[in-house]
Structure 1
């Protein structure tokens, strides 16, 4: 596990409590198509007018990534012939003993994944995997994260590692396959002009659980604007947050940062060499 300003980082294997709705065999298990609690009436109104197709897109392009030790989430962002490019977090794939990965696509098919590169050389908590298939899979449409504004609705999705229907029962979802898929509506809570660490600049209010790391974040048009990675940690109170450039956030800013989940903006990721090799 990488050192983080957040003790409750959304790392693979982090014990999280997940409440999934609509749990039925061989189908997706997803949260309600609405914003998380405590969002304003204005935001609820915005989300209610967003077509169901946005969630459908999210389901089709989101994949589950499994290794010998971990499980996490990812998103299909490119295709060349029969080869697909998957974006995820570096910390999702970092602890694999054999460096082999299974990628579970929306149709329930498991593909052998190959690691192309990870954050060791680019200072971002991202990794690129690829898999080959003669089947046709939807590719995420790329949005512009620089155009996001505070208060704008966001959809975050992925595959949480744990399910807990009550305090006395906790179940690992690894064997569930796609049935662990879950989604959460929230809003942009903060946009930083510098990174907390490893490229994290997009703060948002959605309900994120361990195992959703690497999962996509969409705007209201269903376009990819970031990936999940850091979970909120409000219990740390007024802990000072240090930015990657060495400067320290104010007390007020630190408290706000700790109250939000954090993602890596897609515009930042799109500047990497591995991106341009697959995506025009």
Structure 2
């Protein structure tokens, strides 16, 4: 059983690749899933995995909320692992995750990280296409190695925390308390297709007079911005001249 969250497809690719190795079923985390408050039954010998991106050296808020209300039945010391994807480093995200799982009396035995193409165009430009392909190829090698370790159910920690991991509590606090939706807007290029509304994992986008409106707050995955076919969704002025990126578009 693999629970995963993905904004622009990096973590989705990792989760699907691992599932193809371990033959585990995939469950995508969304607001709808959280509100369903389902119970999940683990079978004997079944793995429990979590795959997610790192936001500001922290768990995405949607993932944290899901984990805190996680209801797992049948856990009897099965192998539990997590894979964080990031463009720079993972910070202390595994420490954060370990603490949450500890509340459920579930120890985290495998802690892994995979460097992927950084999509945070709110802060900086994307790597060029050649560099992106290099990153993807290196990531696939790492994914295969992680898959072998998971298959053997080996306790391991393979994640680049980065030199600034110690600031994780501060960046995590800033991330949780920021109002992420207030700078989103659309340009005249918007064609009212509704893709952003359909695919928002937090259900905060609604079409008003044919144009997207962000109501409430979100997990700041940037799926809407990167997946817009017309590049009509912007975030302040920073994204106006920056390219977009999706590994493959995750569909809710």
Q: TM-score range by the shorter chain?
A: under 0.3
TM normalised by structure 1 equals 0.25
Larger helix share, 1 or 2: 2
Larger strand share, 1 or 2: 1
